[in-house]
């Protein structure tokens, strides 16, 4: 189904946004929605071919975009990538720190190398991209908006997800510190906390959780993933992208430092 990206009249004309992990899933939809709203968008991802496919989609729709090969765990790659975006489009106004993966296993079987990989992508990646973007946002206090892709798991725990839950909780702390430090430079921060969204990240988990929990794949979807929603419906990439648009254009710092749960009632703060 073709996504409706024009349901709001929000304009990002003249703004420059960097979206990490934007070759796929949630990041891709945010990039497409931001470009549709008029922003120049950098599609930063490990997967440059995937990023460039999104760039082509945006350009074909009349928007402005650039593909950036970036591993968010590598400081030099992050700094070079952010500098490249600023050189191409003038500065950085919005950072969506979204790149992420999932590795599920009970704690007693969780490989330390997997734990470190999860922390590197979710927490180090958020820190490094923030630090690189602030260099531009703090210039003459021009300001900006940083949005971290948290999860319901920033607030809630599930079995098998020790590293993911810990990393997603950590983003709340980073966002709160940035809200306090960034205010004097007109920088705001937010965390968006989606419920289950049907992306490759979630598709991969269905058979894994089925095996680990000893239940059918249908039961993983119905009971584990959607059991606590009010409508038995997956959160959509559009639900998340519209929330990101709203937060990126909110006219004051009233919402800074806060997290926003987008989960069809699964988790209510």
Residues that bind ligand NAD (CB under 6 A): 20-21, 23-27, 45-47, 50, 70-73, 98-101, 121, 149, 151, 194, 196-197, 199-202
Crossing angle for the helix pair 125-137 and 75-89, to the nearest 10 degrees:
30
* Cα 61 from Cα 56, distance rounded (Å): 9
* Cβ 184 to ligand NAD shortest distance, Å: 29
- Choice between 24 and 189, CB closer to ligand NAD: 24
* Cα 124 from Cα 185, distance rounded (Å): 23
* Cβ 115 to ligand NAD shortest distance, Å: 15
- How deeply is 43 buried, as exposed, middle or buried, from its count of CB atoms within 10 A (0-12, 13-18, 19+)? buried
The arrangement of strands across the sheet holding 187-194 comes to: 64-69, 40-45, 16-20, 94-97, 144-149, 187-194, 258-262
* Cβ 42 to ligand NAD shortest distance, Å: 12
* Cβ 236 to ligand NAD shortest distance, Å: 10
* Cα 47 from Cα 25, distance rounded (Å): 13
- Choice between 196 and 260, CB closer to ligand NAD: 196
Number of H helices, E strands in the chain: 9, 7
Establish whether 164 is a catalytic residue: yes
* Cβ 60 to ligand NAD shortest distance, Å: 20
Sign, CA dihedral 171-19-193-245, equals positive
- Choice between 46 and 145, CB closer to ligand NAD: 46
- Choice between 185 and 198, CB closer to ligand NAD: 198
Closest CA to 51 of 33, 75, 32: 32
Q: Which two tokens stand for residue 264?
A: 């069809």
> Kindly report the CA angle at 139 between 97 and 244, in degrees rounded to 5?
30
- Choice between 36 and 73, CB closer to ligand NAD: 73
- Choice between 142 and 169, CB closer to ligand NAD: 169
Q: Which helix (H) or strand (E) holds 205?
A: helix 200-213
User: Which of 136, 138, 148, 164 is an active site residue?
Assistant: 164
Q: In terms of DSSP bridges, do strands 64-69 and 258-262 run parallel, antiparallel, or are they unpaired? A: unpaired
Beta-carbon neighbour count of residue 108 at 10 Å? Answer: 5
* Cβ 70 to ligand NAD shortest distance, Å: 5
Q: In terms of DSSP bridges, do strands 64-69 and 40-45 run parallel, antiparallel, or are they unpaired? A: parallel
What residues are annotated to the active site? 164
């Amino acid at each position: 189904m073709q996504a409706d990206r024009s349901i709001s009249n929000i304009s990002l004309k003249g703004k420059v946004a960097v979206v990490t992990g934007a070759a796929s899933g949630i990041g891709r939809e945010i990039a497409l929605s931001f470009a549709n709203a008029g922003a120049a968008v950098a599609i930063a991802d490990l997967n440059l071919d995937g990023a460039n496919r999104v760039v082509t989609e945006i350009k074909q729709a009349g928007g402005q975009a650039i593909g950036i090969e970036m591993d968010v765990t590598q400081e030099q790659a992050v700094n070079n990538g952010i500098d490249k975006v600023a050189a191409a489009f003038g500065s950085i106004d919005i950072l969506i720190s979204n790149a992420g993966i999932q590795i599920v296993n009970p704690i007693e079987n969780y490989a330390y190398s997997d734990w470190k990989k999860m922390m590197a992508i979710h927490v180090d990646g958020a820190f490094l991209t923030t630090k690189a973007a602030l260099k531009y946002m703090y210039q003459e206090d021009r300001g900006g908006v940083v949005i971290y892709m948290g999860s319901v798991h920033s607030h809630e725990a599930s079995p098998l997800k020790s590293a993911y839950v810990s990393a997603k909780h950590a983003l709340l702390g980073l966002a709160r510190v940035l809200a306090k430090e960034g205010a004097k430079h007109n920088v705001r921060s937010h965390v968006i906390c989606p419920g289950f969204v049907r992306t490759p990240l979630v598709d991969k988990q269905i058979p894994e959780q089925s095996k680990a929990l000893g239940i059918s794949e249908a039961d993983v979807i119905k009971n584990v993933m959607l059991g606590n929603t009010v409508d038995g419906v997956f959160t959509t990439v559009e639900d998340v992208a519209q929330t990101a648009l709203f937060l990126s254009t909110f006219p004051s710092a009233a919402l800074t430092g806060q997290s926003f749960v987008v989960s069809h009632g699964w988790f209510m703060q």
